[in-house]
Structure 1
Amino acid sequence: MKALYKIALLAVASVSFTACHDKSEPNYQYMPNMYEPVSYETYAESAAFPNGKEGQLPAKGSIPRGFTPYEYENSTAGYDLAKANLKSPIDSTGFDAPRAEQLFTIYCAICHGDKGDGKGNLVKREKFLGVPSYKDRVITEGSVFHVVTYGLNSMGSHANQLSQEERWQVAHHVMQLRSKL
Structure 2
Amino acid sequence: TLVNTGVIPIQVLDNASGAEVYGFEFDAVYYPVDNLLLNVTGAFQHSELVDFVSGAGADFSGNKIALTPDASVTALARYDYNLANLGDLYIQGSVAYRSSVFFSTENNPLLEQDGYALVNARVGFAHSSDRWELAVFGKNLTDEAYVTYAGDLSDFGFMQRYIGMPRIWGVELAINF
Shorter-chain TM-score tier: under 0.3
- What's the TM-score once normalised by structure 2's chain length? 0.19
Q: Which has the larger radius of gyration?
A: 1
Larger RCO of the pair (alpha carbons < 8 Å, separation 6+): 1
Choose between structure 1 and 2: higher helix proportion.
1
